[in-house]
Amino acid sequence: MTFLTSRRARRAFLGSLLALAASSSFAAWPDQTIRIMVPWAPGGATDQIARLIAQPLGQALGVTVVVDNKGGAGGVIGTQMFVKDKPDGYSLLLATSSTNAAAPYLYKKLGFDPLADFTPVTTLCAIPNVMVVPAKSPWNSLGDIVAAAKKNPDKYTYGSAGIGGSQHLAGAEFKKVAGIEIRHVPYKGSGPAAQDLIAGNIDMMIDTGSLGSIRGGLLKPIAVASEKRLPALPNVPTFREAGVPMVASAWYGLMLPAHAPREVVLRLNAEVNRILKSPEIHQRLVDMGAEVWGSTPEEFAKFNASELRRYEAIVRDSGAPKE
């Protein structure tokens, strides 16, 4: 085979050139604003995590770090935009289990490769989903919801941040395990969905970012989709305890576009892991209901690949249609 006669070889060669070009400018990095792309609307857990990391990361690097929200299609639209960015260290993605593990099985035309189009930097955390209902809802237990849904199939609705998001898949799994029919209402992010839930326009949501609204008395927690009760909600039972055996959580991490310079990856990895270990940031994540992680780039790459395999079964078993 002659040099660069295959498409794969040409792609690899181009990637090497891009990485070399980006690496050559590393000596000046960073000397301009860094953007964290959040492929969801403001207000949800993904947005909150990005903003929590942005300020201390900017201080550590000596530049401004901004959060850029581009919601839609369960995080896919913003992620499609992100993979077109230069791998120069100035564009980061707040990647999630929804975009980088579940989406390939939910969209016929995804527009990106969940592994090849990204350079993993570090994992951040995981947040178990919590079943929440409006504060004035008559439901006080998972049993109440199941009984009402069985009595009135398709009458009640659950919201999500969009098709393929952790809330959508958790809701689909809940329907299957509980043997009920409730209608899915997708939004362009968990923030807008939560606002409609608070207003009573939808009936329930299995969400990762509702602790603030729970503490403010706007939402009522019914059950947590974790193996153990959350320290932040010690009096709220798990789904298993409430009679519905399921576990559902969302994970979050930082990624660069494919072929990012190794030096940039390692610098970002060191700074972000240091931030995650700081008492203030660690506690604020715990207060969100998160399990704080952190990792090497290689560990994140291995984890993402394993999650991509695992989510194939999760999406298939959920019965969620491919859009």
The domains of the chain are located at 7-124+252-318, 130-224
Task: Give the confidence band of 28 by pLDDT, cuts at 50, 70, 90.
Answer: confident
pTM of the model: 0.80
Q: Distance between CA atoms of 226 and 272, rounded to whole angstroms?
A: 26
User: When comparing pLDDT for 168 and 53, which is higher?
Assistant: 53
Question: CATH number of the domain at 130-224, out of 3.30.70.2190, 3.30.230.10, 3.40.190.10, 2.102.10.10?
Answer: 3.40.190.10
209, 98 contact by CB (below 8 A): no
* 268: nearest Cα among 52, 121, 53: 121
pLDDT, position 10: 54
Q: Distance between CA atoms of 62 and 96, rounded to whole angstroms?
A: 27
For the segment 141-150, the average pLDDT, to the nearest whole number, is 98
Mean pLDDT (the chain) is 90
63, 34 contact by CB (below 8 A): yes
Q: Distance between CA atoms of 57 and 63, rounded to whole angstroms?
A: 9
242, 226 contact by CB (below 8 A): no
User: When comparing pLDDT for 1 and 157, which is higher?
Assistant: 157
User: When comparing pLDDT for 80 and 208, which is higher?
Assistant: 80
Q: Which residues pair with 206 in a beta bridge?
A: 131
pLDDT, position 20: 54
Kindly report the CATH number that applies to the domain delimited by 7-124+252-318.
Answer: 3.40.190.150
According to the 3-state scheme, what is the secondary structure of the chain?
A: CCCCCCHHHHHHHHHHHHHHHHHHCHHHCCCCCEEEEECCCCCCHHHHHHHHHHHHHHHHHCCCEEEEECCCHHHHHHHHHHCCCCCCCCEEEEEEHHHHHHHHHCCCCCCCCCCCCEEEEEEEEEEECEEEEECCCCCCCHHHHHHHHHHCCCCCEEEECCCCCHHHHHHHHHHHHHCCCCEEEECCCHHHHHHHHHCCCCCEEEECCCHHHHHCCCEEEEEECCCCCCCCCCCCCECCCCCCCCCCEEEEEEEEECCCCHHHHHHHHHHHHHHHHCHHHHHHHHHCCCEECCCCHHHHHHHHHHHHHHHHHHHHHHCCCCC
User: When comparing pLDDT for 33 and 20, which is higher?
Assistant: 33
Q: Distance between CA atoms of 223 and 170, rounded to whole angstroms?
A: 12
36, 92 contact by CB (below 8 A): yes
Q: Which residues pair with 38 in a beta bridge?
A: 69
80, 39 contact by CB (below 8 A): no
Q: Distance between CA atoms of 105 and 2, rounded to whole angstroms?
A: 36
pLDDT, position 3: 35
pLDDT, position 72: 86
Task: Give the confidence band of 217 by pLDDT, cuts at 50, 70, 90.
Answer: very high
How buried is residue 239: exposed, middle or buried, by Cβ count under 10 Å (0-12/13-18/19+)? buried
* 300: nearest Cα among 35, 106, 97: 97
Per-residue pLDDT of 4-16, as tens digits, reads 344 445 555 555 5
pLDDT, position 231: 87
- 7-124+252-318 and 130-224: same fold? yes
